[in-house]
Each structure stands twice: as C-alpha cells, then as structure tokens.
Structure 1
Amino acid sequence: MERHIVPQINASILVNAVYAMVNYPVVLVNTLLAPLSMLAVVTFATHGGLIRVASEGALIMLMVSSGTSLQGDLSHLKNDMRLQDMVVSSPTSALTYVFGMAVSEIVYSVPSILVLALISSFFLHLGPLQLLFFILDLALVFTFSITLGFMLSTFSSDIVQSWAFSRLISPILSTLPPVYYPITYIPFPFRYLAFISPTTYAAAIAQNLAGLRQSPLPIWADWTVLVAVTAVMLFIGAKKSKWRE
C-alpha cells in the first residue's frame, strides 16, 4: 500500500467533507433533498403502492448523486484552488487522490445514507445475505459514478461547466431510468432504452433482493452487466482522464 494513502484520505475527508459539513450544514439538506423528494412524489402518486421500490431507488439515486458530485468538487479544487497541481507534483498518485476523495464523498453522504436506510428498513426486510448483496450493488453504482465524475472533472475547465454536467447526468442515470419504479411500467418499444443506463440493472438487482422481481432479464445477467459496465468505466477513466496537463 502506498505510504501516502492514509494522509491523503484524511486530508480529503477534512477538505471535502468535514469543512462543508461543519461550516455549511445546509448542504447536507441539499444532498438528501433530491432522493427524498422523488421518494415522496412516487409514494404519493401511487398511494404507497411503490414505496418499497422507491425506497431502494432513493438509495441508488443517492449513490449516483454522491459519485457524480465529485466532478464539481474536483473541478473546484483543480481550477479554483489549484490543488490538483500540487498533488500532481507530489508523490501522491491519481488513484490515491481519487480514492481519498471518494471516501470523503461517502463521509459527506453518511447523514443522508442513515436517513434513507432508516426509511428503507421500515419497508424492506432483507436478510444478512440479501443486505450484503444490496450493499455490493450500491457500491458498484457508486464506483461507476465516482469514476465518471473524476473523468469529467479532468476535462472540465470551470466549475459552472461541472454543474451543467451534473445536472445532465443525474436525471439520465437516476430519474428517467426505472430506478423508482419497475421497468414493466415502461411501454414498448421505449423499454429497450432503459437498458442503456447501468442504474436499470442496479435497480433490478435491488428489487430482486427485496422480492419485487419484475425485470425481464435473469438476475445473473443484471449482475454481469453492472459489473462489466463498472469495470469498463474504470478502464476508460484510467486511460482517458487528463491527470497531468
């Protein structure tokens, strides 16, 4: 293990998570607002009929937003504070830097995770093995989103541009796809478009674990696609991201 990894993680958590949480606690409300709002809207619109599906979808959406929001944070640190220039000139590698920032995003999202997990616990009754696979499912979504956020941040020249990317990606990955509702609610032939998004497979896995299986694909196919897409994104992120100018 690289000897700089622990100090880097600590620095990332302090700079990117603790500072904002202590000085601007209102941002924590903003992190929770989007997934909680969608959960409320779907629940009210269906008279509680989709609350179990939507409670899982809220956690998936939180992982997406937490991962992709990394691009805004990295863009700010790179373009406004010139922090990436200092990191590049240090012994710290790009992998260590991104890993530390990813951990900071998780720390930053902990309050929202706890709230949504508490809500989900009332409607989902997962056994230990099911819960483990659900956490793995969320981890894959987060890894995909973090990698996408990092890659976009390296190409972004201004934080305003990063915000535009974030506002574009969020609905594409977590609102339009069948994350808060079953895929069977989408009529043909539009249903095939849903399979473009990796969150469709993540949601299908989560619904299967909760006994709400309605995906047309076998569960092993959903896992295979989600793992493969995440691995491809990691490969593309490692090859195409501009770490050094």
Structure 2
Amino acid sequence: MIKVRPSNERGHARHGWLDSRHTFSFAEYYDPRFMGFSDLRVINDDWVDPGAGFGAHPHQDMEIITYVLEGAIEHRDTMNNVSTLRAGEIQVMSAGTGILHSEYNASDRDRLNFLQIWIIPDVQGAQPRYAQKDFSDAHGITRVVSPDGADGSLAIRQTANIHRIALNNETRQFETTDQRVYYVQIARGELIINGTPLNAGDGAFIGGEERLVLETATTVDALLFELRGR
C-alpha cells in the first residue's frame, strides 16, 4: 500500500520571513487525519528569508532532525554549540530535559530551505545532546539517522532509521520488513516507487510492500523514514 500525500495538500503558513509547508498538524495548521505517523510527528518544509530566522526558543523530550537543502543555517544552543550547516548537512538534537536554541539564515542575500523533522523519543528526561554531519557527497540509499549511529549515521533515541535517497537516472531496491512502516518525503526531483510517481514536495505512506523499487529518470533527493509498526 502506497498512499500519496500531495505537496499542494500540505498545511501552509506564511509569516513574512518564513514560508512553511506542514506534512502533519503543526502550530495553527490542524488536521485530525494528519497528526503524525508512528513516531514521526513533524515534517516542515521551511523557506527562510536572508538574515531572518527563529530566535531562541525551548524544546523538551523530542528528537529534532534538520536537513539543509539550500543555503546555510547558523545554529546556537544552550549546550554551547555554535555552528553553520550547509546544503547536504544533517543536524540531530535530542532535546531531552530541555534546551534553548536559535536557527538563522546565515546569508544576507540568499534564501534558506530545510526540512525540520520531529520524532518522538522512546525515553523522556534524558540528557540533551547534539550532533551534525555532512552527507552531501553520499549517493544511492544512505542511512543518515539510526538508533545506534550505525554505518556512520547520527544517533537518535528511538528505533527509527532515516535513509537519504540520492539517485540520478537509475533504479535501486530497498528491502522492507513486516514490523516496520515507511514514509518518504521528496525534497527535490521526481521518484517512482513501485510504480507510484512522486514529485518534489510530495510524500507517501508505505506499508505492506515486500520491497521498494525506486526509479528516477532525472536527479532526486529524498528522505525515507523507517518506523515502528503499530
């Protein structure tokens, strides 16, 4: 079963400097049909104007993953992390007992585009932690987030994996398991999954498929979430 979440049916918020699309209910966008999927709670597709951004704000007991698609993010937090993330880099924050952080567009000229993802952790009240890594050179299907940091991925506190799909005019296969459900988010390009076409901004809920055949005639950049079955 593959159920498409079309790009133009996502929630939309425009706050002057911020243009955001919400896959799941978030802030003022509420749809009881889309409250998350397994432990995946948020996928926001954010465009931020030059020099603008999110001032210091708190998070607690959430695994927060940021994937930069275009531009650069200037990050600061109360764990004394100060960093810049550029296109192709992924950041993981385990908010745990609580953190404050800010995220700004590091450019005074170019717009910033990134996916912000929230995953519900399997433990509460843990010590906050932070990590980031550049995956811009990865090709094929690359595990970028996992429960244990396997294969050079970034660790989160949940039995979930995130795989980056970076393909160019080729076909790959991904083996699934009955104990898992899957969600894919297309960031750039076009991808056909088991005969179902998806365009940039589209997502898809996937379950009950023995394997995923991933085809593209162009270039695609996407994330594949491997989540606990319910």
**Which protein is richer in strand relative to its size?**
2
**Using CA pairs below 8 Å that are at least 6 residues apart, which structure has the higher relative contact order?**
1
TM tier, smaller: under 0.3
How high is the TM-score relative to the length of structure 1?
Answer: 0.25
Larger radius of gyration: 1
How high is the TM-score relative to the length of structure 2?
Answer: 0.26
